[in-house]
Structure 1
Amino acid sequence: MSVQLNHTIVFAHDRQESAEFLAGLLGLELGELWGSFLPLVLSNGVTLDFATGPEQFTPQHYAFLISEREFDELLARLQEGGISYWADPRFARPGEINHNDGGRGVYFRDPSGHGMEAITVPYGGF
């Protein structure tokens, strides 16, 4: 068997709010609550298991490879929702997207402060 990422836990201040936020922006459906985890299954089978975390946790970075059509839909949802977005990981270019590696990319924060990224071309243009 080849090694694959199967799932990861995403700590949140409110698992429902954070999971619904990301699912809505990416156009995905949430799974059923499983124990203390609220799963969001990505198209490659990897599951983000949202859990209400400890009061203090370190925000993480999550990057999603999406199609050009999905990028258009995501950007429209960000704009329609009045959600801040940036072209860069340092959040220095607000209201812009990037065109790295011949694709498009955008950064935004989820309700718990995690840095989210969506790109249409993997780094290196592969």
Structure 2
Amino acid sequence: MPVELNHTIVHATDKSASAAFITEVLGLPAPVPFGPFLTVPLAHDLTLDYYESGGEIAAQHYAFKVPDADFDAVLARVVALGRTYWADPYHRQENEINTNDGGRGFYFEDPDGHNMEVLTRSYGSGS
């Protein structure tokens, strides 16, 4: 039986600002309201469902695989928004990208401190 991840909830202090931020960075259409959520559609029927939890936000990690041809544009939008980015998940290699598995990748924080990652190759897929 094939199993697919359908959606995940992203806790935010301001769901509108956070959902708008990630759609701008990734070059996606505007978020869509659904009940108490703002949904951000991704590939394969997956959505990020932004939700205002009303409490303290525990930082999570979200990784987005993009085509190599789109990587530079995503990175340029992060830079244009004045965000720092790092080559590593521990935020030690500031304003650098990584070349893990023969691809390219970087990390940045969203408005609530979630550790976002953009990569072009899945881990373990290359040399």
TM range (shorter): over 0.9
Deviations 1:31-51 (A, max 9, x none): 421111000010221000000
Deviations 1:21-70 (A, max 9, x none): 00000000134211110000102210000001132131100001101121
* Partner residue in 2 for 1:110: 110
Deviations 1:68-105 (A, max 9, x none): 12111111111222111000000011100000000000
* Partner residue in 1 for 2:91: 91
Superposition TM-score, scaled by structure 2 size: 0.94
- For residues 1-126 of structure 1, the aligned pairs below 5 Å read 1-125=1-125
Q: Report the 3-state secondary structure (helix = DSSP H, G, I; strand = E; otherwise coil) of the residue aligned with 1:33.
A: strand
Contact 2:20/2:31 (<8 A) preserved: no
Q: Report the 3-state secondary structure (helix = DSSP H, G, I; strand = E; otherwise coil) of the residue aligned with 1:44.
A: helix
Q: Report the 3-state secondary structure (helix = DSSP H, G, I; strand = E; otherwise coil) of the residue aligned with 1:73.
A: helix
Q: CA separation in 2, counterparts of 1:97 and 1:8?
A: 26
Contact 1:26/1:70 (<8 A) preserved: no
Moved over 3 A (4+): none
Q: Count how many residue pairs are aligned between Structure 1 and Structure 2.
A: 126
Contact 2:6/2:47 (<8 A) preserved: yes
Query: CA RMSD of the aligned region, Å?
Result: 1.1
- Out of 48-57 and 96-105, give the one that drifted further: 48-57
Q: CA separation in 2, counterparts of 1:75 and 1:49?
A: 23
Amino-acid identity (%) = 47
Superposition TM-score, scaled by structure 1 size: 0.95
Q: CA separation in 1, counterparts of 2:124 and 2:77?
A: 27
